[in-house]
């Protein structure tokens, strides 16, 4: 076992040291459990070593029903978010309360990212607003 900053490295897996002051401060500030802090520490360690992608989740967004435009046989929606870059892979997760609208619209499971926005596609124009969460992944 080796100590790396506030992390302990056991068999190649990084674990936060619960006796470290930084660990305790993070846990207190975010009202987090030991498992949540350990999970984030592993994710940060993997990012620093180039072993993982960085994913940001942005909840509570809305695709407004009047924001869709028909282009080449598909309805398109441009959703802005400052976390999106040209290299982002963006997943759109609709809230289950809107599944009837999503199903009828035939939302496509493909997106196109550009700096500051993502384009969402549907076969039919959605008949109402759709609550979504974005999963934004950056290759590192």
Mean pLDDT by groups of 10 residues along the chain of 140 residues: 41 44 53 53 55 82 98 97 93 97 96 95 98 89
CB 8 within 8 A of CB 45: no
Instruction: State CA 36 to chain mean position distance.
Output: 17
pLDDT at 135: 95
Sign of CA dihedral 68, 71, 74, 80: negative
pLDDT at 10: 39
pLDDT at 56: 92
In the chain, where does the domain assigned CATH 2.60.40 lie?
Answer: 54-138
Sheet holding 54-63, edge to edge: 54-63, 130-138, 88-94
Q: Could you confirm whether domain 54-138 is CATH 1.10.760?
A: no
């Amino acid at each position: 076992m080796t100590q790396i900053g506030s992390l302990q490295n056991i068999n190649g897996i990084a674990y936060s040291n619960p006796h470290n002051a930084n660990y305790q401060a993070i846990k207190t500030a975010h009202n987090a459990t030991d498992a949540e802090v350990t999970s984030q520490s592993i994710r940060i360690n993997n990012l620093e070593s180039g072993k993982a992608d960085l994913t940001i989740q942005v909840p509570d967004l809305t695709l407004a029903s009047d924001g869709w435009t028909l282009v080449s046989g598909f309805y398109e929606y441009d959703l802005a978010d400052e976390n999106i870059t040209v290299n982002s892979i963006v997943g759109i997760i609709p809230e289950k309360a809107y599944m009837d609208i999503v199903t009828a619209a035939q939302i496509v499971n493909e997106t196109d990212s550009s700096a500051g926005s993502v384009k969402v596609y549907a076969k039919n124009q959605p008949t109402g607003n759709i609550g979504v969460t974005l999963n934004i992944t950056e290759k590192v």
